[in-house]
Every structure is written in C-alpha cells, then in structure tokens.
Amino acid sequence: MDVCPVCSESFAEPTVTGLCPTCDAAERMGARKPMLAITALIVGAIPFVFSMSNTRSTTFSRNGQVVAETVTGMDYVALGAGVLAVAMGIAAVVPSIKRNDGKGAGLGGLAVLLGVYQVLRGLYLV
Ligand SMILES: [Zn+2]
C-alpha cells in the first residue's frame, strides 16, 4: 500500500507519478489541458468581436479639410475583459511554473499579454 502525497488516501495500484489513481488522473488532465490559461485567452479575445464603447471624436478642420481627429473615451468590454484576462493568466502561470508545465505557462503568459493589450485598447492608447 502507498499513501498519496496529495490527498493522503492509501492506494494499492502504484502509478508513475506516485499519486493515487484519482490524483494521478487529475494531474494528467491538468497538464494536458491548461483550461484556465485557455479560458483566459478566450476572455482576452472577446473584445475583438464585441465592444461597448463610449467615445467622443473631435475633428479639427481648416479650410474645409480635416487636419486632425482625436478619439477619447473608453471601451468597457476591452477594459473589463483585459483586466480579467491578466488576472486569470497570472493565476494560470503561477501553478504551471510550479508544475514545470511549459505549455500552461506559455499560454497563461500569452493571455497576460493579450489582456494588457486589451486594457490599452480599451483606453484608446493603441
Ligand atoms: Zn490522491
């Protein structure tokens, strides 16, 4: 009999990871499917298809020709989704690094970058 280091249950069948069959399966699932990182990426991509902005554009014209146009305001979807993607991305990266899960860490890092970009877009800075 072995004792699982995660849930402290004793189990008869030895697994490669040294965890009980339940935790072993959970560990494999987590390593193969970085769900949180993927969800973070999806959230970060939402503003590309949907936006809710409150903008005001001001045009400056001289002799009937537009010489400059400024857009000020905020895109609330981009801002909200961006902040959420950054938070979820960080939450996905930290355990992935601890688990030596390069795929999860990479995808999570990508979600953080995407989130930062969406926040900048939401503020009309890019
Ligand atoms: Zn266990």
pLDDT tens digit string along 20-72?
888 888 777 665 567 889 999 999 999 999 888 887 877 888 888 888 877 77
Spacing, Cα 26 to ligand 1 middle (Å): 9
Q: What is the dihedral of CA 18, 24, 27, 32, to 10 degrees?
A: 110
Compute how many other C-beta atoms are within 10 angstroms of the C-beta atom of residue 30.
16
Spacing, Cα 32 to ligand 1 middle (Å): 18
Q: Where are the domains of the chain?
A: 1-32, 33-122
> Which pLDDT score is estimated for 16?
82
Q: Going by C-beta distance under 8 Å and a sequence separation of 6 or more, which residues neighbour residue 52?
A: 75, 76, 77
Give me the residues near ligand 1 (ion), CB cutoff below 5 Å. 4, 6-7, 20, 23
Q: Tokens for 21, please give them.
A: 């069959």
Q: Please give the model's pTM, rounded to 2 decimal places.
A: 0.66
Which of 16-20, 36-40, 91-95 bottoms out in mean pLDDT, i.e. has the lowest?
16-20
Question: For residue 106, which of 117, 96, 118, 114 has the smallest C-alpha distance?
Answer: 96
